[in-house]
Structure formats: structure tokens, C-alpha cells
Amino acid sequence: MLRSRSRARHTPFPPPHPEVVARIVAIREHPPENLQRVPGPRTILYYLHRDPHLQALGLAPPRSSRTIWKILRREGCILPPAQRKRRPLPKRQPLEEIQVDFKDASTVPADPSGEGKRQHVVEVCNFVDAGTSILLWAQAREDFHAETALLALVSMLRHYGCPRLVTLDHDPRWVGSQSGRDFPSALRRFLLCLGITPNICPVHQPQKNAYVERYHRSYKYECLLVHRPATLQEVEEVTERYQEHYNTQRPHQGRTCQDQPPRIAFPNLPTLPALPERVDPDRWLLACDGEMLHRRVGSDGCVDVDDRTYSLSQSLSGQMVALRIHAAKRVLEVMHPPSFSKQMPIKGLVGAEMDAGSLCDDDG
């Protein structure tokens, strides 16, 4: 009978004595024994048990550092954290901005015969319109790399046309490797040649790609973890069915849909400019106009820009030079005042218009 009754305290603890509170604040503001830092709750608790003034008064200090933290917070010694000011993303028009990202189908088992470690077995490349929250395109593959990711983007552009913005994260398949790259990646050049602005999200900020990231959550819990596809074909089948359900049947609580399915809220989409038949493959250079590149001249009088070697002068060996990109002339202007100046044609440019279909196969 005695053990069945709770021994938990039924009344709150008495408030700390004012002398104890005063000593806690004093230790916080004036660290004892030449302590060369601001003491925290655990350090203050250590000094309280050794305080002769409290021992003479017969006052017992708190036994928990959490109590000291509450006292410091109440007395204004610890300021509350600043509240984050959330800024919503700008509201887009239909098909103005398309957000793109990969989602791995983790229910598909890894292939034991595959070579090396494969983090993603089957992935789905999803394209979500930021203005309507409509899932425009979803393509599943086992071999998504830079080339196949570009082909998936081309397939979407051929079907819907060219939007003003395409938002991407820092996946290397989109932005390329950062080592040795001074010019945009092949995919970013492709978008710039078509007049589409590639909007690259900052690192570790998925909220900038919020619409497709939010779709991935619904796709995971309402499709992948429900049907648990085990092969690429099953992933394609359940994704196609879920896309129809998501766009036409599932109520969407976004600010644009207002508890309606996206395709019901937006039955008609605007017509975007189609992919041009011929493009200028060097148009991407306009986005880099005026950029400055700083290089140290090697012992052979050369510098490397975007993995290509440019010859300057043997007399500049070991010195720092600035290279300015001049897009109109398509040259690199060497700036090393006062005695040396030179213009070098940018290597790797095509110099003539070409078919848009062959542009997506070009790696440079």
C-alpha cells in the first residue's frame, strides 16, 4: 500500500533566498578567483557551494544548474534569443519559376552486383511550378548524373516551354564541381543560352527551394512509404498515379491553391515560349561580363582559367594578375598596371549558332 503512493512532490519548491539570488548575480558579473571568462550556470553552482557568506548564513544553494539558469534569465543576465524574422518567398505567376530537385526512392534495395558504393539507387527528378504548386514533370532513373539530369530538364522544357526562372540547389549534377571551375557549369550555360535565369539556392538553405521540398515530403509519406516500390518500374508506376492524384484530387493547403487541388485551382496554364531551333552557344558569357579573376603567374609565364592554359609573359612569373571578362569582345583583359596589358581570346567558345538539340550534348 505504501509503495503504490507516489513520492513525487505535490507542492512547488520554495523560491530561492534573496541572498542566494544576489550571490548568483554577483558571481556572474564579477567572476571570483580571477576567472578569465563569464561563468555559466554549472560554474556558478560550483562557486556557490564554496561561498563562505552563504555558509555563515546557513543558506543552502540550489542543487541544479537549471535553477541557476532560470535565475540568470529572470534577472536579465541571459538575454532571450532573438526571434527569427521569417520572410516568405515572393509570390510567382504561373509557370514563372520552376523548382527542380531529386528525391531518392529509398524503398528500392541496392543492387549487390553494382560496383562501389551507390548512395542513391533510384531517384526521381521532380519539377514543381512555384506559382501554382503543380507537379509538372517527374522522371525516375537509376543513373542520374550531369548528362541525364540535363536531358530530364530538356524533356520538361520541350513539353512546357521556357520559363523565366529555374531554381536549383547546389547538387554537383546541377552546378558542377567547384574545383578548377571559373565559368558556369554546362547545365547553367545551357539555361543562359536559352534566356532562362538559373536561380541557385544558397548552401544549406532548402527553404529557398520550398515548393519542391514540400512536395517531396508529401511524395514520401503518401506514396513511397505507402506503396513501397521495389524496382524502377514500380517507382515509375506509383509516381505516375500519385502525380495524377496530387494535381487533380488532393486538396492543397498552399497560399495559391487555397485547399483545392492545383489543377482545379489553375485549370489553364499560360503558354511559354517554345525551345528555339537555333541558339547562340556563347550567350552564357553575358552573365559573366565584368567578373574579375585573380591568378598567380606560373614559372612558365602562364595562368590557368577554367582548366585552360593562357600564356602571358615570362617576366610576370610569380606575380599576381587580374583578368577581367569582356563579354562583348569575348576576351580576357589582363590588368597588371602600369607596364603590362593584354587581351586574350577566351578559349572553348563556339563562335557560331547551333541547333538547340545539339547544345544539350555539348559539355563545354
- Residue 238 has a pLDDT of 96
Q: What percent of the chain has pLDDT over 90?
A: 63
The CATH fold of domain 97-110+119-265: Nucleotidyltransferase; domain 5 (3.30.420)
Q: Is the pLDDT of residue 141 over 90?
A: yes
The per-residue pLDDT for range 254-283, each reduced to its tens digit, is 888 989 999 999 999 999 999 898 889 999
pTM, to two decimals: 0.76
Instruction: Give residue 360's pLDDT.
Output: 59
φ, ψ at 40 (rounded to 5°): -90, -175
Domain ranges of the chain: 18-74, 97-110+119-265, 284-345
pLDDT, average across residues 80-100 = 88
- The mean pLDDT value for 121-143 works out to 95
Judge if the upstream peptide bond of residue 202 is cis by omega within 30 degrees of 0: no
pLDDT for 356 equals 66
pLDDT digits (tens, 9 = 90+) for 313-326: 888 899 899 999 99
User: What pLDDT, in 10s, does the model give residues 146-183?
Assistant: 999 999 999 999 999 999 999 999 999 999 876 657 89
Beta-strand ranges (E) seen in the chain are 97-104, 123-129, 135-141, 165-168, 197-200, 278-279, 292-296, 302-305, 308-311, 320-326, 331-336, 340-345, 354-355
pLDDT of the residue at 339: 67
Model confidence at 359: pLDDT above 80 = no
CA 207 to chain centre: 8
CATH of domain 284-345: 2.40.50
Q: Which amino acid is at 57?
A: L
- Categorize the per-residue pLDDT at 92 as very low, low, confident or very high, splitting at 50, 70 and 90: very high
* pLDDT score, position 362: 44
> How far does Cα 209 stand from its chain's mean position?
7
Average of per-residue pLDDT values in the chain: 89
Q: Name the burial class of residue 75, with classes exposed (0-12), middle (13-18) and buried (19+) by CB atoms within 10 angstroms of its CB.
A: middle
Report the DSSP pairing between strands 278-279 and 354-355.
antiparallel
